[in-house]
Homo-oligomer: A and B are copies of this chain.
């Protein structure tokens, strides 16, 4: 696929889990998925976190799969009663769900037949028509149905599944990102001029991101876009602005 014809490919992430909303577990998957998708040319456009409740999951799956090229979900595919993601995705698609022989075979790579009890077999319940996503770590697979990819919540397993999924995705032109470190130059001194630069460079998006350090604010300006020349042009204009302000010749 060449850059000239590459479409814009979008995605949403649905994080399923009471433990994130209660604060007990601090999510690590959002940042991983954002980095991964950005690197292969898929735009992550929305993230939602919902509890382990069927109605909330089904509604979010249907809203997000309709809106974006892809939907990725994390969490809720283990053997316990609170693992209801597969059933909810089946309900969202209106398809039956049952133990899938391919998934059962994967579980048997890890568990002896006599240990494959009813609870563990829950992990082989896959909506009809889905393709499996291999889990090299603990074997219980994720799956793809339509444009929805269902992954585990445990970060190491989620990452392994993402590595399986990545090569199968349609991808668009990658977004190029360039960061200008402006240090302790206050946002308020460059905001007006930066806004003028942003208007003059509409092919890119320009963001200003303050962060706090022990020595006060440290600001960064980030230029993002799909056209390398457009990014470079905006970057040069911002570099000139920042140099001018640092020299104290600005009226700010």
Contact = CB atoms under 8 A, between A and B. Distances in A.
B205 A154 contact: no
Nearest to A123: B188
A245 interface: no
A2 interface: no
Interface stretch (A85-93, A126-134, A143-151, A192-200): A192-200
Given A46-B48, A111-B188, A205-B18, A119 B195 contact: yes
A224 B18 contact: yes
Given A191-B81, A212-B156, A46 B50 contact: yes
Interface stretch (A29-37, A98-106, A165-173, A227-235): A29-37
A25 B81 contact: no
A23 interface: yes
Given A18-B224, A31-B23, A52 B207 contact: yes
Given A20-B34, A22-B177, A212-B156, A80 B195 contact: yes
A154 B18 contact: no
Contacts of A122: 191
Chain A interface: which size bin?
Answer: 35 or more
Given A78-B208, A119-B191, A21 B47 contact: yes
A115 interface: yes
Contact of A47 (B44, B49, B175, B194): B49
Nearest to A49: B47
A44 B24 CA distance: 12
A210 interface: yes
Contacts of A38: 22-23
A243 interface: no
B78 A24 contact: no
A82 to B, nearest CB: 5
B23 A211 contact: no
A61 interface: no
A51 interface: yes
Given A79-B188, A120-B188, 8 more contacts: A22-B177, A23-B34, A27-B27, A52-B205, A81-B195, A118-B192, A154-B211, A155-B212
